[in-house]
Chain A
Amino acid sequence: MSERVPVEVRVNGEPCSAVVEPRLLLVHFLREELGLTGTHVGCDTSQCGACTVLIDGRSAKSCTVFAVQAAGSAVTTIEGLAEGEALHPLQEGFWEEHGLQCGYCTPGMIMAAASLLKENPDPSEAEIRSGLDGNLCRCTGYQHIVNAIARAAQQG
């Protein structure tokens, strides 16, 4: 039981493979196996969203997905968002609008917003706020985050 199994996942456009325990959570696969430490862990009950990544283009909490489940999928993490030096409009937005303080929830927040804007390129403020229902921030009171996403939507 529990033999290690090979896993191949396309991460930020690159094929990545490893032999892992089936119980390895995707977030730990990204952080420990691939060294992509921009994806964070903030809770253990799937509430905080700090671990949010895109799986096949849709936001997901990587603490609630086994790496083996993601085999064959395309995963995008915060590290895969900028095009080289050029920041993604959401990253620009968070910087310009002071959408982060400690920065811990930020990668998950940005990935959740990326998924939101993909589904709804021109969200209202209420839609932005409910689009963040899966993400907790304790520093900002969210107002600057909402501004950042609205800004990115305008520019996207």
Chain B
Amino acid sequence: MIPAAFDYRRAKTIDEALALIGETAEEARFLAGGHSLIPLMKLRFSQPDRLVDIMHVPGLAGIWERNGQVGIGATTRYVELERSRILQDVLPVVAEAAGEIGDPQVRHRGTIGGSLAHADPAADLPAVMVALDAFLDIVGPQGRRRVQAEDFFQGFFTVDLAEGELITEMRMLPRRAAAYAKLHQKASHFALVGVAAALEIEAGNGAGGVCRGARVAVTGLSTHAQRLRGVEASLIGERLAEESIRAAAERAPEGIEEINDDLHGSAEYRREMAKVFAARAIRRAAARA
């Protein structure tokens, strides 16, 4: 399969990237790792007139800890997330989820910013960002702004990103007690259902401690990554034990609408799997506390 023709520009700075996108009246897209966009272009589902390659913009890739926050640059590849010492130490859930994406070749090329901007309903990282309450830094013709991951994902391949806007960085607080559990779709290795759970557990109590805070998010279940508010509510204030985890996970489908339903999994199955994988993610997160 062969993509339709387009015009390619390589940006050296963020300003140049914005200018290259802004100067054309036709459909223009930023290109990072290309592992979401190029497959769609090959099938001609996507036919942009211009691609602006941002992989050579200095400073857009990297993982750093600053002021008690962890920052991840938009063009950081999955493999860097998977191997990052910083992430393995303070945000193991990000490394874990990145390691579950696709296959080694895909992880060598695909980027976190690309994945979030594309917002495939079955992508892994959106759920992780929502669970971690990450902020996305966005630049565009109107300047800079910041949006919470939870608000960024709005619907089926739909995000809070205006024409010409670019994600530059994700920022989040360290959280060891977080985990991602995923049911693989056997052919594509996308998530049939994936759940990320980030917990605050009363210090010193370990897996049997009392849950003081919980953010749990799901992917693959519906049009976009979103929080499992029933699970969160059920966890907070509870002592984390098998029974309370199961009870909380039971509430996974609460408030989730437009459940995906296709040949790989009916809505009913996905709803049940959201419960199963919520429990698995919570157990694993609790074990990390």
Q: Which residues of A contact B (CB under 8 A)?
A: 1-3, 5, 21-23, 25, 44-47, 49, 52, 55, 58-61, 63-66, 68-69, 71, 112, 115-116, 131, 133-135
Roughly how many angstroms separate A32 CA and B206 CA in the complex, as a whole number? 59
Q: List 12 A-B contacts (CB under 8 A).
A: A1-B50, A3-B7, A46-B39, A46-B105, A47-B188, A49-B105, A58-B79, A59-B108, A65-B38, A65-B109, A66-B34, A134-B104
Roughly how many angstroms separate A25 CA and B34 CA in the complex, as a whole number? 12
Roughly how many angstroms separate A66 CA and B8 CA in the complex, as a whole number? 10
Question: Is there contact, CB below 8 Å, between A61 and B34?
Answer: no
Given pairs A1-B50, A23-B3, A133-B104, 5 additional interface contacts (CB within 8 A):
A1-B7, A25-B2, A55-B109, A66-B51, A134-B102
Question: Is there contact, CB below 8 Å, between B106 and A22?
Answer: no
Closest B residue to A63 using CB positions? B42
Question: Is there contact, CB below 8 Å, between B105 and A134?
Answer: yes
Q: Which B residues between 99 and 116 are near A, CB-CB below 8 angstroms?
A: 102-106, 108-109
Closest A residue to B79 using CB positions? A58
Map CB proximity to A onto B17-58 as digits: 1 under 8 Å, 0 otherwise: 000000000100001001100110111000001110101000
Q: With both chains docked as a complex, state the minimum distance between the C-beta of A61 and any C-beta of chain B, in angstroms.
A: 5
Partner pick for A64 among B4, B55, B109, B188, CB 8 A cutoff: B109
Closest A residue to B108 using CB positions? A58
Q: Which residues of B contact A (CB under 8 A)?
A: 1-8, 10, 26, 31, 34-35, 38-39, 41-43, 49-51, 53, 55, 79, 102-106, 108-109, 187-189
Question: Is there contact, CB below 8 Å, between B108 and A23?
Answer: no
Closest B residue to A111 using CB positions? B105
Question: Is there contact, CB below 8 Å, between A49 and B103?
Answer: yes
Q: With both chains docked as a complex, state the minimum distance between the C-beta of A152 and any C-beta of chain B, in angstroms.
A: 17
Question: Is there contact, CB below 8 Å, between A22 and B7?
Answer: yes
Roughly how many angstroms separate A106 CA and B31 CA in the complex, as a whole number? 30
Roughly how many angstroms separate A52 CA and B108 CA in the complex, as a whole number? 12
Q: With both chains docked as a complex, state the minimum distance between the C-beta of A67 and any C-beta of chain B, in angstroms.
A: 10
Question: Is there contact, CB below 8 Å, between A64 and B6?
Answer: no
Partner pick for A69 among B26, B31, B43, B50, CB 8 A cutoff: B31
Give the chain B neighbours of A64 by CB distance below 8 A. Answer: 34-35, 38-39, 42, 109
Question: Is there contact, CB below 8 Å, between A60 and B43?
Answer: no
B34, B51, B102, B103 interface centre (most CB from chain A within 10 Å): B103
Closest B residue to A134 using CB positions? B103
Roughly how many angstroms separate A3 CA and B42 CA in the complex, as a whole number? 19
Give the chain B neighbours of A71 by CB distance below 8 A. Answer: 10
Give the chain A neighbours of B105 by CB distance below 8 A. Answer: 46, 49, 52, 59-61, 112, 115, 134
Partner pick for A21 among B1, B5, B103, CB 8 A cutoff: B5
Roughly how many angstroms separate A39 CA and B286 CA in the complex, as a whole number? 46
Partner pick for B106 among A5, A21, A44, A134, CB 8 A cutoff: A134
Question: Is there contact, CB below 8 Å, between A60 and B49?
Answer: no
Q: Knowing A61-B105, A134-B102, say if A69 contacts B34 (CB, 8 Å).
A: yes
Roughly how many angstroms separate A25 CA and B201 CA in the complex, as a whole number? 49
Give the chain B neighbours of A45 by CB distance below 8 A. Answer: 39, 42-43
Closest B residue to A67 using CB positions? B8
Q: Knowing A59-B108, A61-B105, A65-B109, say if A22 contacts B39 (CB, 8 Å).
A: no
Closest A residue to B77 using CB positions? A58
Question: Is there contact, CB below 8 Å, between B50 and A115?
Answer: no
Roughly how many angstroms separate A69 CA and B56 CA in the complex, as a whole number? 10
